[in-house]
Structure 1
Amino acid sequence: MSNPPTEFYSEERWQNWIDRINDEDIDPEDESSARLLLNLQDDTAIAIAKIVAAYDDGELDQEEALEEITDVREIVLDDVDVDDEEKRLLVDGVQTSLVCVFFAAEEYVANGPAEEGSVNDYIGAAADAEAEEDLDAALGYAAQAGTLIVDGEELDMTMAEELEYGLVTEWINGLDSLQSAMSDPEVVEEDE
């Protein structure tokens, strides 16, 4: 009898992070608060990186990998139970950053890495599309950049600094977490 597949992410895991955010005084200017939010984001990106790696290694077939990504996305992008409006906005920012991570992973599993262009080309195209208020196209380009990151290409974060703040810069933030997760998929420890 084969072993049951590993659980890549759970509702309980996500809820533990949300509980910590609820319990702590969060100040985005404070390093430990910023780290908590980044860890929340990185933890999810690591789960996605592990799913993609399991797919690449043949441990999951395409359909299973896509189902796993969908499961994580449904947990993470669901409405959160956070009473404090400022904290809710911060969690919402993390969720926004992760949207592109999910799309990139799905695109990678479904169609492989983008065949033409570089990460920077796609990020530039995403920024142009956002400027024209074509957010679907912007997300599509950002996801293509993500497929290349999954495939081992580097994301140059200095490019993000040149962009006007908006959804694309949020998505780049998520892709940066994905890049870290792909190179070092170690679990972020939830400090008790």
Structure 2
Amino acid sequence: MLTFYSQERWNNWINQVKESKFKIDPNAEGLGREGIVFLDMEEDVILALCKVTGKLQLGTITKEEAANSIQGMKEIVLAKVEPMDDDKDIMIESVQSALVGAFAAAECFVAGDYDPKQKIEDLVMEAAKAEEAGDMDKAFELMGKAGALILAGKKFDSDKVYEKIPPESFVAEGVDGLDTIAAVLAGGIDYTDEPDEEEE
């Protein structure tokens, strides 16, 4: 199986979190210097995901290889992390929640399970309504389709939806993930390097 993201790579991020002096400061804007590690670890996983979907678009890997690679990454990244302290644990959970949406997006993209004519903002708003109604499966599915559109090259303006969705919600964390996908793609990706390793 092609491996775009290894257990060792995830463990390195977890160790960086353990060594950080991060504390949640309710009065601060943003996460502060010690909190950058959470943004970086999320971005690193999404970069690997974008490489999978990008190589699929380029035709250098098959749909099956892409789907298997995404599944392998999910098993690493979404596994329960050993507790550290309340603040760090909250942030790790937040990163994992954002990544759940990113994985859903990649899976939707690989399966071709999205409509290119739909608007990302509309899907996100529908997802927020579904979450409010308690239909988490529907919310999850809609966020996946929204993310697939970003992976397919559609532009996304998160500012248009942020003010309309509850800040402490699955959809809000999912929008963080979508934002990171858009930022990673905008930054350009080098598809010439090979996956980390190939296992029989």
When normalised by structure 1's length, the TM-score is 0.89
Q: Which stretch has the larger CA shift, 164-173 or 151-160? A: 151-160
Q: Within 5 Å, which residues of 2 pair with 1:47-126?
A: 47-111=48-112, 113-126=114-127
Alpha carbons 1:69, 1:105 under 8 Å: kept: yes
Gaps of 5+ in 1: 188-192
| 2:43 corresponds to 1:22 | no
- Give secondary structure in 2 for the equivalent of 1:60: coil
Alpha carbons 2:101, 2:144 under 8 Å: kept: yes
**Which residue of the partner structure matches residue 160 of structure 1?**
162
1:99-144, Cα deviation, whole Å (9 max, x unpaired): 0100110110011542332001100110110110101100111111
Alpha carbons 2:23, 2:87 under 8 Å: kept: no
1:20-65, Cα deviation, whole Å (9 max, x unpaired): 1001111344421232111111010000000000111111100000
Greater fraction of residues in helix: 1
**Which residue of the partner structure matches residue 142 of structure 1?**
143
Gaps of 5+ in 2: 26-30, 191-200
The residue type equivalent to 1:160 in the other structure is Y
- Give secondary structure in 1 for the equivalent of 2:181: helix
The runs of at least 4 consecutive aligned structure 1 residues that moved more than 4 Å come to none
The residue type equivalent to 1:175 in the other structure is L
The structure-2 alpha-carbon separation of the partners of 1:144 and 1:14, relative to structure 1 and needing over 3 Å to count, comes to same
Alpha carbons 2:102, 2:144 under 8 Å: kept: yes
- Give secondary structure in 2 for the equivalent of 1:81: coil
- Give secondary structure in 2 for the equivalent of 1:162: coil
Alpha carbons 1:114, 1:147 under 8 Å: kept: no
Instruction: Figure out how many residues of one structure are paired with residues of the other and give that number.
Output: 183
Question: Taking CA–CA contacts closer than 8 Å with sequence separation of 6 or more, which of the two structures ends up with the larger relative contact order?
Answer: 2
Q: Which stretch has the larger CA shift, 102-111 or 153-162? A: 153-162
Cα distance in 2 for partners of 1:144, 1:44 equals 19
The residue type equivalent to 2:10 in the other structure is W
- Cα drift, residue 183 of structure 1: 2.1
Alpha carbons 1:26, 1:33 under 8 Å: kept: yes
Instruction: Find 2:5's aligned residue among 9, 13, 30.
Output: 9
**Which residue of the partner structure matches residue 190 of structure 1?**
none
Cα distance in 1 for partners of 2:15, 2:180 equals 22
Give percent identity, aligned residues only: 30
Q: CA RMSD, aligned part only? A: 1.7
Cα distance in 1 for partners of 2:147, 2:105 equals 5
